[in-house]
């Protein structure tokens, strides 16, 4: 059975997160339905990161297995490759779904887009095969410009943030730690993660110029971890907590006084990285073992 990697982006504003839930509009639910319509067979997706309700993705990755018959039938009588046919046909289905589900949606535009599709080795696992995930959180404080076009992807705050203090409080969190104070743990899963990058800065150029941004990279994140890291940084930046507090909270390893969770809409998944094909199986096995997960 061919294994297909999907690269996708979505505006999380009107989704109740990634994971399919009865009666709710989710990215997984909408995308699975669209793919099943196009492939004419049931579809099961595995994703790199299950984003929360309201969180966006510029570069999410998922995979699915499909039958050889469904894959080769995609182009129909056209001379296109199955990959190109899948992109075109899924785009149409997703646009129609958005038009029917949301009010005032521009015609032909969906809030989830599959930007790439290709066959990959059967060892590829979008979730456990990933080497790292990178997120960005964007904030417009009192010293930043406010663009109403981006209001759904940038957190607006009325006060000015102490960005230097926020960056200083983040440095002691780097490395491998038990992030229980920054996670909502799942049964059977560890809260130990390796935080490789955690940098607060005020962007000087580009589309984010003037905004306060957090760039965070880790091998993986547990539930609400990134938004909790943002919440701790904001408590310092607003002067409500000292620079030493985020590390003290980390060392406490407790859910009794856990880090505050920042609003979801300022967060975007920016990148997921994978090893070379000959390392895919080994990486997936390491991730499963490290995170003590059986699924």
Task: Look at residue 245 in the predicted model and tell me its pLDDT.
Answer: 97
Dihedral angle sign, alpha carbons of residues 146, 154, 151, 258: negative
3-state secondary structure 147-158: CHHHCCCCEECC
- Would you say 87 and 56 are in contact if contact means Cβ atoms under 8 Å apart? no
Helices H / strands E in the chain, number of each: 7, 10
Question: Which pTM does this prediction carry?
Answer: 0.94
Mean pLDDT, range 9-19, rounded to an integer: 97
For the question of residue 277 being annotated catalytic, the response is no
Task: Look at residue 139 in the predicted model and tell me its pLDDT.
Answer: 98
Q: Does 162 have pLDDT greater than 70?
A: yes
Task: Look at residue 49 in the predicted model and tell me its pLDDT.
Answer: 94
Q: Does 293 have pLDDT greater than 50?
A: no
Kindly state the percentage of the chain with pLDDT values over 90. 87
Structure confidence by residue, pLDDT tens digits, 53-84: 999 999 999 999 999 999 999 999 888 999 99
Structure confidence by residue, pLDDT tens digits, 166-192: 999 999 999 999 999 999 888 777 899
Mean pLDDT, range 145-153, rounded to an integer: 95
Find the catalytic residue in 11, 52, 125, 167. Answer: 52
Mean pLDDT, range 266-287, rounded to an integer: 94
Mean pLDDT, range 218-230, rounded to an integer: 94
β-sheet bridge partners, residue 198: 216
Task: Look at residue 295 in the predicted model and tell me its pLDDT.
Answer: 32
Binding residues for substrate: 135
């Amino acid at each position: 059975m061919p294994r297909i990697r999907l690269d996708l982006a979505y505006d999380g504003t009107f989704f109740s997160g990634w994971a399919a839930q009865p009666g709710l509009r989710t990215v997984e639910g909408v995308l699975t339905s669209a793919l099943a319509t196009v492939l004419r067979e049931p579809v099961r997706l595995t994703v790199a990161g299950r984003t929360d309700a309201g969180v966006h993705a510029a570069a999410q990755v998922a995979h699915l297995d499909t039958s050889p018959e469904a894959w080769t039938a995609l182009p129909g009588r056209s001379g296109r490759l199955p990959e190109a046919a899948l992109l075109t046909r899924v785009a149409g289905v997703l646009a129609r779904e958005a038009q029917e589900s949301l009010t005032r949606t521009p015609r032909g535009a969906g809030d989830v887009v599959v930007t790439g599709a290709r066959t990959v080795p059967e060892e590829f696992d979008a979730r456990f095969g990933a080497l790292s995930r990178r997120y960005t959180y964007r904030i417009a404080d009192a010293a930043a410009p406010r663009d109403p076009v981006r209001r759904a992807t940038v957190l607006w705050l009325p006060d000015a943030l102490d960005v230097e203090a926020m960056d200083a409080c983040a440095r002691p969190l780097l490395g491998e730690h038990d992030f229980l104070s920054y996670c909502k743990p799942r049964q059977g899963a560890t809260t130990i993660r390796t935080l490789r990058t955690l940098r607060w800065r005020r962007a000087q150029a580009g589309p984010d110029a003037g905004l306060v941004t957090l760039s965070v990279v880790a091998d993986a994140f547990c539930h609400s971890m990134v938004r909790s890291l943002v919440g701790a940084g904001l408590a310092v930046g607003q002067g409500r907590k000292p620079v030493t507090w985020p590390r003290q909270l980390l060392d406490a390893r407790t859910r009794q006084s856990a880090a505050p969770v920042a609003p979801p809409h300022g967060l975007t998944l920016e990148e997921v990285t994978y090893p070379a094909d000959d390392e895919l199986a080994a990486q997936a096995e390491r991730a499963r073992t490290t995170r003590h997960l059986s699924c």
